[in-house]
């Protein structure tokens, strides 16, 4: 029998290569193994013995309440800006438009820095700090840079961010505002990643790139843990997730496996995971269709949904494995319609949906039309970021009221 005084400091047992299962020491700063990501593994049997899901009720809200399933030790200082929970919002009006009776949006746009990236960065920076890192660097096509900058500032660390030139302006400003050394690069996110890799020795920074260290994914895993708790341990039938580097989807799938091993889920059925991309950048959707385990780099990647503009993902096989194991699919939607879907969702429900999630609305339309999602299924769409960060996607010319004239009410009437 154990009580809180005899709990081990951490339930992490080791790190494990996602490619070949090689074991590496758990409590260590790591990057890739054979150029591919690592999993954090836990002693789930010990967690099962030492804690129950009912004990969560007495804990503070937010992602750190799942501490047994997270890598920090109890003695570590947590770098936090107040992560979650994000609300799970019922969307009956949008559901009716699409032909669904049970549709929810989990609104990650309400997290610190306006996207789910804060979960991963809170964890990665917490762990980097534990291992004495003073300087971090990363490539970012959007929200990761701002989140890294904010959490680095919170931890008193130095941060370098390299962004494609056409990264949304708000993402550029938020990184600069939080004091990160921020650079615009005339290339894509993979080119920015090369700068971070090549600069490692000279600049002595730690590479925070998506999946190049094992802890960001553990932060993103909390989306799945939180969703399970919010659904009263009955997971939905279908989850739609916009996919770039894939940590969100991979992390959630890992969360469900761990919860199942703990016996915390009330049903053995797990959601079908739907990985959504734009046809302007669809390496994962294409590999899924071609029944490949690894994705070919996508040429001339271009999409307004900047979080999806990842032409080559280092965790491609992890995304594809999760999608296939779940019985889900990966698909791409029409780039030209993304802002219309985004507008449809925001107009229908008032939830501040980003273009990436707009793509998920398009995917829903398609999957319902194809009969792959049935009207009575419980569907959760993740809104990964806040619409207001995408001024480029939402600018429009407003009609003007000229006060030097009499007000023309006929122009104002809808
Ligand atoms: C980063 C990002 C994504 C893609 O997330 P991954 O987990 O890397 O696939 C989707 N939407 C938004 C808003 C993002 O910032």
Question: In this predicted structure, which of 9-23, 128-142, 168-182, 387-401 has the lowest mean pLDDT?
Answer: 387-401
Establish whether residue 115 lines the binding site of ligand 1, counting it when its CB lies within 6 angstroms of any ligand atom: yes
Alpha-carbon distance of 7 to 73, in angstroms, equals 11
Establish whether residue 385 lines the binding site of ligand 1, counting it when its CB lies within 6 angstroms of any ligand atom: yes
Establish whether residue 244 lines the binding site of ligand 1, counting it when its CB lies within 6 angstroms of any ligand atom: yes
Convert the pLDDT of each residue in 55-73 to its tens digit: 999 999 999 999 999 999 8
Q: What per-residue string of b and e applies to 345-365 under the rule 16 or more CB within 10 Å gives b?
A: bbebbebbbbbbbbbbbbbbb
Residue 1 has pLDDT above 60, yes or no: no
Six token digits for residue 148: 């890294």
Convert the pLDDT of each residue in 361-413 to its tens digit: 999 999 999 999 999 999 999 999 999 999 988 777 888 999 999 999 999 99
Helix (H, G, I), strand (E, B) or coil at 39: strand
Q: Is residue 85 reached through a cis peptide bond, with omega within 30 degrees of 0 on the bond before it?
A: yes
Burial of 124 (0-12, 13-18, 19+ CB in 10 A): buried
Distance 109 CA to ligand 1 centre (A): 11
The mean pLDDT value of the chain amounts to 95
Tell me the average pLDDT across 308-315: 94
Establish whether residue 246 lines the binding site of ligand 1, counting it when its CB lies within 6 angstroms of any ligand atom: yes
pLDDT reported for residue 145:
97
pLDDT band, very low/low/confident/very high, at 2 (cuts 50, 70, 90):
very low
pLDDT reported for residue 267:
85
Tell me the average pLDDT across 138-157: 96
Six token digits for residue 346: 């925001």
What string of DSSP letters covers 137-164? EEE-SSHHHHHHHHHHHHHT-EEEEEEE
- Nearest residue (CA) to ligand 1, atom 10: 307
Full-model pTM: 0.95
């Amino acid at each position: 029998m154990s009580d809180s005084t005899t709990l081990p400091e951490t339930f992490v047992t080791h790190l494990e290569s996602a490619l070949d299962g090689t074991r590496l020491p758990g409590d260590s700063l790591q990057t890739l193994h054979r150029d591919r990501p690592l999993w954090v593994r836990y002693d789930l049997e010990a967690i099962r013995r030492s804690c129950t899901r009912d004990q969560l009720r007495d804990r503070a809200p937010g992602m750190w309440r799942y501490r047994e399933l997270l890598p920090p030790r109890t003695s570590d200082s947590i770098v936090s800006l107040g992560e979650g929970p994000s609300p799970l919002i019922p969307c009956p009006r949008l559901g009716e438009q699409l032909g669904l009776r049970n549709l929810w949006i989990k609104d990650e746009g309400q997290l610190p820095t306006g996207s789910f990236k804060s979960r991963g960065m809170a964890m990665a920076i917490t762990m980097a700090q534990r291992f004495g890192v003073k300087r971090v660097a990363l490539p970012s096509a959007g929200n990761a840079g701002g989140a890294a900058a904010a959490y680095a500032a919170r931890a008193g660390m130095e941060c370098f961010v390299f962004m494609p030139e056409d990264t949304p302006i708000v993402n550029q400003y938020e990184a600069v505002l939080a004091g990160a050394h921020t650079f615009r690069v005339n290339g894509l996110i993979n080119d920015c990643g090369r700068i971070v890799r090549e600069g490692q020795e000279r600049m002595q920074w730690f590479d925070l790139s998506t999946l190049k260290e094992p802890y960001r994914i553990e932060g993103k895993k909390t989306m799945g843990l939180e969703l399970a708790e919010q659904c009263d341990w009955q997971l939905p039938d279908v989850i739609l997730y916009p996919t770039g580097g894939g940590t969100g989807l991979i992390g959630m799938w890992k969360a469900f496996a761990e919860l199942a091993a703990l016996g915390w889920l009330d049903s053995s059925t797990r959601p079908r995971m739907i990985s959504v991309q734009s046809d302007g950048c669809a390496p994962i959707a294409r590999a899924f269709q071609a029944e490949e385990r690894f994705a070919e780099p996508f040429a001339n990647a271009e999409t307004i949904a900047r979080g999806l503009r990842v032409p080559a993902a280092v965790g491609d096989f992890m995304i594809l494995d999760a999608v296939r194991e779940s019985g889900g699919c990966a698909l791409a939607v029409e780039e030209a319609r993304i802002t219309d879907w985004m507008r449809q969702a925001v107009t229908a429900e008032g939830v501040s949906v980003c273009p990436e999630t707009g793509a998920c609305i398009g995917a829903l339309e398609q999957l319902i039309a194809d009969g792959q999602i049935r009207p009575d299924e419980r569907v959760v769409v993740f809104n990964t970021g806040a619409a207001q960060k995408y001024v480029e996607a939402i600018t429009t010319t407003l009609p003007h009221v000229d006060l030097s004239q009499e007000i023309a009410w006929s122009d104002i009437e809808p």
